[in-house]
Amino acid sequence: MTPRTGTACACTNIALVKYWGKRDADANRPAAGSISLTLAGLVTRTTVTFDRPAGYDCLTLNGAPQTGESLARVSRFLDLVREAAGSRDGASVESANSFPTGSGLASSAAGFAALAVAAARAGDLGLEPTQLSALARRGSGSAARSIFGGFVELRAEGADPRALQLLSETEWDLRMIIAVVGGGSPKAVSSRSGMVHTAQTSPLYPGWLASVPSDLAVARAAILDRDLATLGEVAERSALTMHASAMAARPGLIYFQPTTLALMQAVIELRRRGIAAWFTIDAGPHVKVLTTPEHAAKLAEVLGAVPGVTSVLTSRPGPGAV
Ligand code: DP6
């Protein structure tokens, strides 16, 4: 019998070599590759059931019914699954995050990875993980990486870009500390519109894109060698180069808050004192710090004491979507 429902869990991921720009917006193909670490504990769980009339998808997020653009984006994604399944049925989608809502950590990476796996199961598409990755990418570029656990590379090449695993979550035990800044502050410009605006208006965008291939090569080798210092250096410079391109857009996109800068300085100072710590920052004010299991508790304590930090989460490498 054809299953009509599917449930999936996916962890979020944090990019160490950033994705910032598209080759083509319709199929959501990235302009360059990216490398990330999937994080345990920051999980989205989603159930898709094809049980509604055509054209009447519904979506609840943490129990709250959604309308407008967030429902429309999910419906457009489900259209891809319906097309592949040869069906027009509407779906009920229920999704919940394991992490605090309003923390600013809600992620399209975990969200669209879980949606892709759940919808593919509900539509009985029988897809392999790499095919699920390509499908998840249509929802959100970063979601392509959350199909896999541990260290993951999204390759930009090819007609239908997909991610592959570099090391599993059990092959290198690291920690990512997330310092949440200004929980509940007004939402920044989304990654989706921020990267399009940067590509269209920033004179530094070509320089950013040109910097990615060598960062990917260095990061890939550092991961395979378990060379944390080299990986950390690449992660910091990739984030800073991405943000430099965004800041130079017209008008400029500034995701940093004063606390973001204070955290960056704190990480640099801790490193000077011999603590393994390297930061990365996405399209928001929070600072994510890559470190070792031994240094994680000390770092969480110091970063948590920086004025303006509203909470601190510590995560280990997490598994792929199931
Ligand atoms: C800064 O994956 O959210 O987090 O493909 O338009 O949905 P869309 O973008 P999205 O962008 C993530 C940008 C980033 C860096 C990264 O995760 O690589």
pLDDT score, position 57:
98
From ligand 1's centre to the CA of 44, what distance in Å? 17
- Residue list, ligand 1 pocket, CB within 6 Å: 15, 18-20, 28, 34, 108, 140-142, 191-192, 282-283
d(C-alpha 71, C-alpha 60), whole Å = 9
Provide the phi-psi class of 58: left if phi over 0, else alpha when psi is between -120 and 50, else beta. Answer: beta
Choosing from 11, 13, 16, 19 the residue with most ligand 1 atoms within 8 A of its CB, the one to mutate for a pocket test is 19
- Short-list 257, 252, 299, 307, CA closest to 104: 257
Q: Are 56 and 23 in contact (CB under 8 A)?
A: no
Q: Are 286 and 257 in contact (CB under 8 A)?
A: no
Strands 175-181, 90-97: pairing kind? unpaired
Torsion angles phi and psi, residue 104, rounded to 5: 80, 10
Minimal-distance CA residue to ligand 1 atom 4:
282
Minimal-distance CA residue to ligand 1 atom 8:
140
Confidence class for position 188, pLDDT limits 50, 70, 90? confident
Q: Are 308 and 258 in contact (CB under 8 A)?
A: yes
pLDDT score, position 99:
80
From ligand 1's centre to the CA of 142, what distance in Å? 5
The answer on pLDDT for 103 being more than 70 is no
The answer on pLDDT for 309 being more than 80 is yes
From ligand 1's centre to the CA of 122, what distance in Å? 26
Confidence class for position 107, pLDDT limits 50, 70, 90? confident
Beta bridge partners of 280: 288
From ligand 1's centre to the CA of 34, what distance in Å? 10
From ligand 1's centre to the CA of 146, what distance in Å? 12
Q: What is the mean pLDDT of residues 146-165?
A: 98
**What one-character-per-residue DSSP string does 79-98 give?**
HHHHHHHT---EEEEEEEES
Q: Which amino acid is at 210?
A: A
The answer on pLDDT for 152 being more than 90 is yes
| Cα angle 271-43-161, degrees, rounded to a multiple of 5 | 85
The answer on pLDDT for 159 being more than 80 is yes
From ligand 1's centre to the CA of 192, what distance in Å? 7
How many C-beta neighbours within 10 Å does residue 244 have? 14
The answer on pLDDT for 186 being more than 60 is no
Structure tokens at 14: 């944090």
The answer on pLDDT for 3 being more than 70 is no
Minimal-distance CA residue to ligand 1 atom 1:
282
pLDDT score, position 105:
77
Choosing from 42, 142, 190, 256 the residue with most ligand 1 atoms within 8 A of its CB, the one to mutate for a pocket test is 142
Pick from 142-146, 176-180, 185-189, 308-312: least confident: 185-189
135 SS3 class: helix
